Amino acid sequence: MKSRRDFIKISALGLGATAVAAGSAQALFGSPLFGNKNGNTESGTPLRRTPTYCEICFWQCAGWVYKDGDGNIKKITGNDDDQHCNGRFCPRGTGGIGQYMDEDRIKTPLIRTKVNGKDTFKEASWDEALDFIANKMQQIKRDHGPECVALFTHGSGGAHMGHMLKAYGSGTIAAPSFAQCRGPREVGFLTTFGDIIYSPERIDIRDTRCMVLIGSHLGENMHNGQVQEMSDAIDKGATIITVDPRFSTAASKSKFWLPIKPATDLALLLSWINVLIENGWYDKEYVEKYTVGFDALKEHVKTFTPEWAYGITTIDPNIIRETAREMFNASPSVIINPGRHVTWYGDDTQRMRAVAILTALLGSWGRRGGYYKPEKLHLPNFPVPPFPEPQRKPTDAYKGIYPLANEVVANGLCDATIPSVDRECNLRAWIVNGTNLLAAFPNQKNTLAAIDALELLVVIDTMPIELTGYADVVLPECTYLERYDMIRNSGHRQPNIALRMPAAEPKYNTKPASWIAKELAGKLGLAAYFPWKDMEELLDWQFKELGTSLEEMKRIGVKNYPREVDDLYFTPGEDVVFNTTSGKIELYSSDMESEGFDPMPVYTPHEEPPEGFYRLNYGRAPMHTFSRTANNPNLTALMNENVLWVNPKVAKLWNLTAGQRVKLKNQDNVISTFSIKVRVTERIRWDSVYMVHGFGHNNTKLTRAHGRGINDTELITRVKVDPVMGGTGMRGNFVTFITEFNEDGKEAEA
Amino acid sequence: MRYAMAVDTKKCVGCSDCVVACQTENDVPVGFCRDWVVEVTDGTYPQLETEIRSERCNHCDNSPCVRCCPTGASHYAEGGVVLVTHDECIGCGACIASCPYDARYPHPDGYVDKCTFCLHNRVEQGLDPACVSVCPTKCMYFGDLDDPNSPVSKVLKTRKFKTLIPEAGTKPQLYFLI
């Protein structure tokens, strides 16, 4: 069936593009710095620098952008005062320059139109594009209410577009970083400790004596501060215990590697809890003083012995005991790392509850080397009129389900876009900024069905990501190196702020999201909500409220503030009230119970791969962020496609050789669009295969990314939704190999 | 003075930040590199060991590349650092063939290029080479072996280490902590 919304390849329309250079004449950005020792090129030219914080991932490290005398950006380095990076950027941040240089960027606004009955994009001026959007938005407001316009965002532009949307009357705003990523962990800890983990995570790796990684592949997952602190901890002799079916980089640095059978982590966690309790290897004073439900827990885990877990996880019972002992010996300076992307099997909140319970038994929450309490500044808002009160809350879109979600469930909004008679409010328009929803949401068919039902899809991005092909309007955002954004106000060991300012003029006819939001608001008659002249005025006002100024921040980039109270850790014997129903750490969760969920985690077996199929596991590479860096020239020079990790036993069975290209077919007969190179390696279990997420792009305009490797998302068609908070479990998909196929795309299985 | 570098394989995660930082610091054209990452895995699942190494020119004491260079472009500079004078290089490639570490590449501008330990643009100003200063795991140590208090001297005193292809007799000055 032909869809109303045919995919348009931007490449077909780039002809005759008139890249309008940004008009205003601007003086040199930045100023030469005295006493700056980091300031020469190899040829000896002095460099100037301006502050930024990175946008390549969400760690948002603060750093410096260096330019030569002609204003060419030469390099980006970390800011020594920044707690996120301690002066050291990761490869993506260092290679962030590639996002600015990428010649495949979207260069001018585009509007969907029909020529000879065929969908195509026409190039448009900013005025035309924003008028088009404003008219549609006004119409939707009249016909359906403003709440039917949703914003999906994953990046700094979200703050600006969100402000515009709230002024318009909609609070329907979501990020895939909750229900596609860290949501279960936040809810698991919230129901246990009454508080969440935050980002950057409040884990005290620097001073830990033992860290347990469960499917978390730090080092490949390049969350800068965490990787740095893990290295420091290794230097200081900390024990690393890694639980992973794959011999990850972290596993190769670990004292213990537990090569667990995939999808059985909860059984291991429960048996660890059993061992700690049965042997008295827990912090009795802490448990007595701060927790409720210990007796019930003790009874609950009685049968979850290491021998029981062995049959499920394939982990030697002696190793389960030995690692539990290791954790106890290190306690309270022990971290059961809650990880980040934890939407795996649909019972993820329960698994994270088990992590939280272990944390409580070991007494590491609120303790040095365990979990600290981050502190964040209160950032005053520039005065604007009060926002109109939306008639419908975003959660109305999925009323009655996901009761414990503490953030908006993005896939819930996606589902609520597909027309249904049961639903009172179907979403009508999406504004999408900085997230490739087709790669972020599993089950692409569902996402495409939602998109097909939209009256308006606006995609604001720097790159012609696949989603742009389905848009009604594409708005080219400039990169983070070409714009101001809101103040980075992050919670950390010390409260701190960071400035992002433009290091260069926006290339092509691109604009910052701050400008786009303000202009669009103007066209919607909402200018009163954007009373500042420009970002400089807004930022300077906010900085002055914080006792600094834009001028000072341009010089220092980052400012750390003293903590208001010295409460990084609990003091001995301190009375602590937790933000839970009981005011205590809830080993037995009353919130879970009252919503009809197991008050203590229960192991349920998950499906296993059928004969000839292998579990599809996916992860990260240190030089890439999701699918957003897949075309970055500096980073693709390091890695320009993903490869398929296959155990040698499996390779032998299928007669696969290293470097051979295969396609994959999943349990629902979905075949990958592109092929992938086989990497035969002992580092992967025989019951699963592994690839790095974010490759296999299908837009030819991404010249370095198109057709490179496989997009794991298209093979993730079976989604195990977590009933507690709506998380989309993505690791219950199984694939088999197709060794004979036509390279041009279509299957042709032999 | 004898500049040297040590790389801790127990900490290196192979993120390749050293590669990107070198490229942007030294204007290495995209697609080429002066340093790179090697991963070696031994054993059978689940008895495995993986070593990850950030590699570059070994700045050998007995460098075949310097010996074989017909124009003298390849030479020993201050602290034993092996450098190529671009203007004197005719791009014949003899050094590339002679290097047991495959540390050199032909620059598109017609000369042979390689790691300089960032001698002129950073080390002479008291900075560490770009790769060392960017590394998120702080797995690299640089300094003067003749100075017992330099980071590299100190770490080589306390840790077990190896060099690569010692049998080639080049006396490499890039050490790997194991």
Q: What is the Cα–Cα distance from A415 to A412, expressed in whole angstroms?
A: 5
- What are the pLDDT digits (tens) for A170-214? 999 999 999 999 999 999 999 999 999 999 999 999 999 999 999
Q: Is A682 on the interface with B (CB under 8 A)?
A: yes
| CB-based contact B50 A220, cutoff 8 Å | no
Residue A274, CB-side half-sphere exposure with 13 Å CA sphere: 21
In degrees, to the nearest 5, what angle opens at C-alpha A101 toward C-alphas A97 and A107? 130
Residues of B in contact with A259 (CB under 8 A): 45-46
Which percentage of chain A shows pLDDT scores above 90?
Answer: 90
Chosen from A42, A220, A650 to mutate, greatest number of chain B CBs within 10 A = A42
Average pLDDT over residues A286-291: 98
Cis before residue A332, ω within 30 degrees of 0?
yes
**Domain ranges (residues) in chain A:** 195-373+578-594, 614-738
Cis before residue B70, ω within 30 degrees of 0?
no
Average pLDDT over residues A622-647: 96
Amino acid at A444: Q
> Does A322 have pLDDT greater than 70?
yes
Backbone angles phi, psi at A271, to 5 degrees: -75, -30
Average pLDDT over residues A210-231: 97
- What are the pLDDT digits (tens) for A421-430? 777 778 999 9
- ipTM confidence score: 0.96
Residue A35: the pLDDT is: 34
Chosen from A101, A231, A631 to mutate, greatest number of chain B CBs within 10 A = A231
Average pLDDT over residues A718-742: 96
Backbone angles phi, psi at A173, to 5 degrees: -130, 130
Q: Which helix (H) or strand (E) holds B8?
A: strand B3-8
Q: What is the Cα–Cα distance from A648 to A631, expressed in whole angstroms?
A: 31
pLDDT band at A32 (very low <50, low <70, confident <90, very high): very low
Per the prediction, chain B carries an average pLDDT of 97
How many angstroms away from the CA of A449 is the closest CA of chain B? 38
Specify the length of chain B in residues.
178
- What are the pLDDT digits (tens) for A482-512? 999 999 999 999 999 999 999 999 999 999 9
What would the two tokens of residue A673 be? 């669009």
| CB-based contact A91 B16, cutoff 8 Å | yes
| CB-based contact B45 A227, cutoff 8 Å | no
> Does A254 have pLDDT greater than 60?
yes
Residue A6: the pLDDT is: 74
What are the residues facing A257 on neighbouring strands? Answer: A242
Could you tell me how far CA A350 lies from the centroid of its own chain?
A: 21
Indicate the range of A29-43, A247-261, A545-559, A707-721 predicted with least confidence: A29-43
> Does A9 have pLDDT greater than 90?
no
Per the prediction, chain A carries an average pLDDT of 93
- What are the pLDDT digits (tens) for A680-692? 999 999 999 999 9
What are the residues facing A689 on neighbouring strands? Answer: A616
Asked if B2 and B174 count as a contact pair (C-beta separation under 8 A), the reply is no
| CB-based contact A684 B27, cutoff 8 Å | no
Asked if A394 and A408 count as a contact pair (C-beta separation under 8 A), the reply is yes
Q: Which helix (H) or strand (E) holds A242?
A: strand A239-243
Which residue do the tokens 């300094």 mark? B143
Could you tell me how far CA A438 lies from the centroid of its own chain?
A: 14
Q: Is A200 on the interface with B (CB under 8 A)?
A: no
- What are the pLDDT digits (tens) for A51-62? 999 999 999 999
- What are the pLDDT digits (tens) for B33-90? 999 999 999 999 999 999 999 999 999 999 999 999 999 999 999 999 999 999 999 9
| CB-based contact B134 A94, cutoff 8 Å | yes
C-alpha R_g of chain B: 16
Q: Is A313 on the interface with B (CB under 8 A)?
A: no
pLDDT band at A30 (very low <50, low <70, confident <90, very high): very low
Residue A15: the pLDDT is: 35
Q: What is the Cα–Cα distance from A458 to A128, expressed in whole angstroms?
A: 14
The span from the first CA to the last CA of chain B, in angstroms, equals 25
Q: Which residues 117-136 of A have a C-beta within 8 angstroms of B? A: none
- CATH number of the domain bearing residue B82: 3.30.70.20
Closest CA to A107 of A422, A458, A475: A475
Its domain, for residue B88, covers 3-177
Q: Which of A89, A218, A637 sits opposite B31 (nearest CB)?
A: A637
Higher pLDDT, A742 or A648: A648
Domain A614-738 adopts which CATH fold?
A: Barwin-like endoglucanases (2.40.40)
Q: Is A622 on the interface with B (CB under 8 A)?
A: yes
pLDDT band at A657 (very low <50, low <70, confident <90, very high): very high
Q: Which of A37, A41, A97 sits opposite B126 (nearest CB)?
A: A37
Q: What is the Cα–Cα distance from A548 to A484, expressed in whole angstroms?
A: 17
Q: What is the Cα–Cα distance from A231 to A28, expressed in whole angstroms?
A: 39
Q: What is the Cα–Cα distance from A75 to A481, expressed in whole angstroms?
A: 11
In degrees, to the nearest 5, what angle opens at C-alpha A469 toward C-alphas A466 and A470? 110
Average pLDDT over residues A606-611: 96
Using DSSP bridges, classify how beta strands A676-680 and A661-666 pair: parallel, antiparallel or unpaired: antiparallel
Average pLDDT over residues A672-679: 97
Q: Which of B15, B33, B49 sits opposite A222 (nearest CB)?
A: B15
- What are the pLDDT digits (tens) for B97-155? 999 999 999 999 999 999 999 999 999 999 999 999 999 999 999 999 999 999 999 99
| CB-based contact B41 A91, cutoff 8 Å | no
Q: What is the Cα–Cα distance from A465 to A52, expressed in whole angstroms?
A: 24
Average pLDDT over residues A155-165: 97
pLDDT band at A42 (very low <50, low <70, confident <90, very high): low
Domain count, chain B: 1
Average pLDDT over residues A535-554: 98
Chosen from A638, A643, A652 to mutate, greatest number of chain B CBs within 10 A = A638
How many angstroms away from the CA of B169 is the closest CA of chain A? 31
Residue B26: the pLDDT is: 96
Q: Please report the DSSP string for A619-679 in residue order.
A: E--TT--TTTTTT-HHHHTT--S-EEEE-HHHHHHHT--TT-EEEEEETT--B-SS-EEEE
| CB-based contact A252 B138, cutoff 8 Å | no
Q: Which of A42, A78, A232 sits opposite B27 (nearest CB)?
A: A42
Domain A195-373+578-594 adopts which CATH fold?
A: Dimethylsulfoxide Reductase; domain 2 (3.40.228)
C-alpha R_g of chain A: 26
Residue A133: the pLDDT is: 98
Cis before residue A200, ω within 30 degrees of 0?
yes
> Does A329 have pLDDT greater than 70?
yes
Q: Where does chain B have alpha helices with state H? A: 17-26, 64-68, 94-98, 130-134, 151-158
Edge-to-edge order in the sheet of strand A73-78: A48-53, A62-67, A73-78
Amino acid at B72: G
Using DSSP bridges, classify how beta strands B161-162 and B174-177 pair: parallel, antiparallel or unpaired: antiparallel
Q: Which of B17, B25, B30 sits opposite A91 (nearest CB)?
A: B17
What would the two tokens of residue B162 be? 């190896």
Residues of A in contact with B19 (CB under 8 A): 91, 638
pLDDT band at A400 (very low <50, low <70, confident <90, very high): confident
| CB-based contact B13 A227, cutoff 8 Å | yes
